[in-house]
Amino acid sequence: MEVLLLTCLVILIVYLLNHYYFTYWKRHGFCQMDSPMWLLGNISDLFFFRKSFSNCFIDLYEKYKHHKYIGCYFTYKPILFVNDPEVVQDILVSNFSSFTDRPRFVDEVRDPISTHLFNIGGQKWRELRFKLSPTFTSGKLKGMFPIMRGCGKTLRDFMLKNNSNGKNVFNFIDLFAKYTTHNIVTVIFSIDSDTFDDPDNVFRKISANFSEPSKRQHIMDIFSFLVPNILHAISIFNFRSVTANVNDFVMNFVAKIVKHREDTKFQGNDFLQLLIQLKNQGYILTKKNEEVEQNGDKTRSENINIMKKLTMDEIAAQVHVFFVGGFETSTATMSFCLFELCRRPDIQKKIQEELDNVFGASTNFDDVTYEMFNNLKYLECCINETLRLYPPLSILFRTCTKDYKMPDTDLIIEKGTSVYIPAIAIQRDAEIFENPLEFTPERFMDSPTGNGKANGGFYLPFGDGPRHCIGERMGKMQAKIGLASVLWKFSVEYNNKEDFGDMPELQKTQFFLRSAKPFNFKITPRI
C-alpha cells in the first residue's frame, strides 16, 4: 500500500510540474501552441529526425500564423514565436535595446572557440562588433577582390580541365563546397589551399565536418540554440560547440600562423592580418574616407574600450565563425541558385547575356574588375531571390535582455525569454510575396526587399538591425564570383530531372539549409 501511495504521489507531482511548466504562457496572458509533448515541448519532430529544422518551423508558422506572436515550448523552455513582420521589425530594429543577445551556449573556459561575434552578447558583443566592423567595408572588400577573383578562376579552370577529360556531370554542392573552402582559406590566411584536387585536404575535411554533422552533433546543436540553459546545467560533460579535432586544429593552426607572421614581420592582405591588428593595438586602421557600417547600432564609440586587445583565443574564435558562416551560407546559396537555374533555363540565359555584356570582349578572368562585378545586377537579383526562397539560416534567435511590454497591450516578455523568428516561413508567405514558391528574380529589380516596400521584417536572409550579419557583402560577392565563374563558360542542366521534385528535400541533421540529395548537374561549354 505504501509503495502504491508513493507511486501515486510521484505521478501527481510530475503531472503538476508538467502542467505548471507548460502553462507558462497562459499564466502570462499569451496564447500558446497546442499539446506540448512531455519533456520535448512543441519540437519533438526535430529530436526524432522526422522533419528538417526549416520544415519544422514552416509547419508551425502555417498552423499559427494568424497569431502575431504565440508562446511555445522547446523542452520546458518557454519561447515566443513571432510571425508578424511589424513585430519582427520592432524586435530586431526599433527596440533592439531590449533584445540585444542570442540564446546561444557560450563557455569561455571549456569552449573558447564559442566566444565569437555570432554567439556573445552584452557589452562584449558591442565592443567586438565595433572593432570588427572595419573588416568588412567596401574598401576592404575591393582590396580582397583580386584574391576572390583568383579563386573563381581556379573553380572555372578545374571544371574546364575535367570537362576536357570527359567529365560533364558534377555534384555542385560538393564543387561549391571546395570553391568556398578554397576562397575562405585564401581570404583568411593568404594560403593557396589545394581543395579541388586533393581529396585529403585538411581544410576540406574541416568544412565537411560542419556540413555533415552526426545525429549526436545535431542534437547538441538543437540544445545549443534552443535550450542553452540545459547545456550550462550539464557542463560537467565538457560540451563543445565543435568536435575536439576541429577545435584543436583551428586553435593550433591560428596560433602557429600568427606567431610566424609576428616573427617574420610578414603583412598579409587578409582577414587574419586585420585580427592581428586588433591583437596588437586594439583597433583596425582604416582610410580617411572609408565608411564603417555599424548597421544601426546606436552604441557610441566613446562607450567602447578601443584599446582593449583581442586574445589569441578570441582571434581563433573569429576565424572559426568566419569560416563556418562564409562556407555554409555561400555554398547553400550558390547550390540552390543553380538548382533553380536548371529548372529555369530562360533565367540562366539572361544571366549569361548579362555576363557577356558586362565582361565584354574579355576572355581572361584576370581582366574582370571589381566594378564589372558590381554591374551584374540581374545576377544579384537571382542571388537575392535564392536567399528569399532558401535562407541559409532559416530562423532568427533573440533573447529578451530586459522586461519588455508588447506595444498596445499589457503583455510583458520577461527578461531571459527567447524569441524565435521563422524567417524562411515569412519569406515564403503568399500574403507577403506573390507566388512565393516561384523563382522570380525580377521582383528584386527595383526593390531591395522583393515586394516594393521598405524592409518591414519580411526579408531576413542576413537578419536585420544592429545584429545584421556583418559579412553580408563578403558572402554575396563570394557567391556572385562563384556563379559567374560557372555560367560565363558553361550552361548547366539537370543530369536526371526525375531526381528532383518542385522543391528539394532538406537534410534532417543539419542546422543550416542544405539539400538531402546531391545536386548532380550536367555542364555544356558555351560556344
DSSP 380-399: HHHHHHHHHHS-SS-SEEEE
User: What is the number of other CB atoms lying within 10 angstroms of the CB of residue 406?
Assistant: 16
Question: Angle at Cα 372 formed by Cα 369 and Cα 378, nearest 5°?
Answer: 150
Question: What CA–CA distance (Å, rounded) separates 185 from 499?
Answer: 33
List all residues 6 or more positions away from 163 whose beta carbon is below 8 Å from its beta carbon: 490, 523, 525
Question: What CA–CA distance (Å, rounded) separates 424 from 332?
Answer: 14
Burial category of 139 from C-beta neighbours within 10 Å (exposed 0-12, middle 13-18, buried 19 and up): middle
List all residues 6 or more positions away from 307 whose beta carbon is below 8 Å from its beta carbon: 282, 283
Query: Is residue 328 within 8 Å of residue 210, measured between CB atoms?
Result: yes
- What residues are designated binding site? 469
- What residues are designated binding site for heme? 469
Longest dimension (CA), the chain: 93
In 3D, which of 301, 304, 254, 249 has the Cα closest to residue 279?
254
Question: What CA–CA distance (Å, rounded) separates 195 from 205?
Answer: 9
Question: Angle at Cα 448 formed by Cα 447 and Cα 453, nearest 5°?
Answer: 55
In 3D, which of 391, 385, 506, 429 has the Cα closest to residue 55?
506
| 227 grid coordinates | 535550450
> How many whole angstroms from its chain centre is CA 399?
18
| 58 grid coordinates | 514552416
DSSP 8-state code for residue 122: H
List all residues 6 or more positions away from 133 whose beta carbon is below 8 Å from its beta carbon: 292, 293, 294, 470
